[in-house]
Amino acid sequence: LPDTTQPLAPHTFAGMVEAGLKERFDEKEIVRVLTSWRLLEKEYYRNEFVGEDPDVDCDMVQECHSYVPGLSIKPFWNSEDFSWANDLKSQYSEIREEFDTVMSNMAKLKKEGNNIWAGALTTDAAAYGEGWRTLVLMDRGRWDPVNAKLFPKTAKAVHKSGVPATEVFFASMEGPSSIKKHSDFTNFVLTSHLALDIPCSGQNKCRLTVGGETREWINGNVYVFDTSLLHDAVNDSDSTRYILMLRLWHPDLSPVERKALQFTFDCLEFPGLVSQDPGERFMAEKTVEAIRKFPLLETGGEKGFGSKTKGRKGKSSSKKNKGFGR
């Protein structure tokens, strides 16, 4: 690794974010986050074989420009070890029913929703191809209030499960098609899929391969895996595959490290968080606090698809800005 022992220049934006981290958190508890932030500033790109035998595990390669050192690496995690995964699996029927109902009127969904089934919009996502599209419920820890209200049962199930999610979205994959081998370039978040509507479920038509290990998507199952490793996917059917996809903090991260990483995300979107102007900083902090709240209150939050709301559509939360965690 490059040398990360020296603090970043204080007059730069990166240096100001680093100072903000030190001001808000105990430096001893966020050493790995500071290292990660400095590595990003140095444009470090990790590309290493992390398997046991290159001849057997040739795809056990970790590629990432957003890298926290010291996190455990394995292609697939046992979803049963996560209580939130068990909760989501138990809610599959309700989530699937709501999804089918909303999807049954695509014209209304596109009229009422935000950036419905948007395609890959960044260079990093090019490997997904034109047949891979998303419908975002949460991005960078912020719920999309418009789309969440269109899928209230799903949003509430995710929220109540306690999953430490940074992103939540539905993802479609047309068939027949494939997603090329690629990395998602971040090692401090894992990816999870709730298999929602899988064509020919149980017939091995729709498959995901991570680090050389392959799993078949089966309706109702939850999968947890590391997309900093090379991975690819196949839909050999003639129909579209749908999943509920989540990105979540790596289990090895401490609660403090998660909050510190979230702070860096917030700074990239709201630079006023590290402003020298107390007023500007106060407004940025209040903005972040407001948008971080779950948008569905217990009273009136589950009107669902087709209900009228006073809120207006915002800009696309599916447009991924390249940067820390991208």
Question: For 121-179, how does the pLDDT look when each residue is reduced to its tens digit (9 = 90+)?
Answer: 555 556 677 788 999 999 999 999 999 999 999 999 999 999 999 999 999 999 999 99
> Is the confidence at residue 311, as pLDDT, over 70?
no
pLDDT of residue 319: 39
Q: Residue 237: pLDDT above 90?
A: yes
Residue 286 CB neighbours (<10 A): 10
Residue 37: closest CA among 250, 305, 298, 264: 264
* 24 contact partners, CB below 8 Å, separation of at least 6: 260, 263
Beta bridge partners of 167: 247
Mean pLDDT, the chain, whole residue set: 91
The residue whose two tokens read 């966020």 is 30
Q: Is the pLDDT of residue 55 over 90?
A: no
Q: Within 10 A of 30 (CB to CB), how many other CB atoms are there?
A: 22
Torsions phi, psi of 96, nearest 5? -65, -40
d(CA 149, CA 297): 10
**What integer pLDDT is reported at residue 264 of this predicted model?**
97
Q: pTM of this prediction?
A: 0.89
Supply the Cα-derived Rg of the chain in whole angstroms.
20
For 295, the token pair is: 């948008």
Q: For residue range 205-228, what is the model confidence (pLDDT) as tens digits?
A: 999 999 999 999 999 999 999 999
Return the sign of the alpha-carbon dihedral for residues 33, 38, 39, 40: positive
Nearest to 45 by CA among 67, 60, 14: 67
C-alpha to C-alpha distance for 161 and 96, rounded to whole angstroms: 16
CB 242 within 8 A of CB 196: yes
C-alpha closest to that of 205 among 213, 193, 217? 217
pLDDT surpasses 50 at 252: yes
Residues 6+ apart with CB under 8 A from 6: none
Say if residue 106's pLDDT is above 90: yes
Contact 261, 188 (CB under 8 A): yes
The percentage of the chain sitting over the pLDDT mark of 70, rounded to a whole number, equals 88
Calpha distance 244→119 (Å, rounded)? 16
Amino acid 54: pLDDT: 87
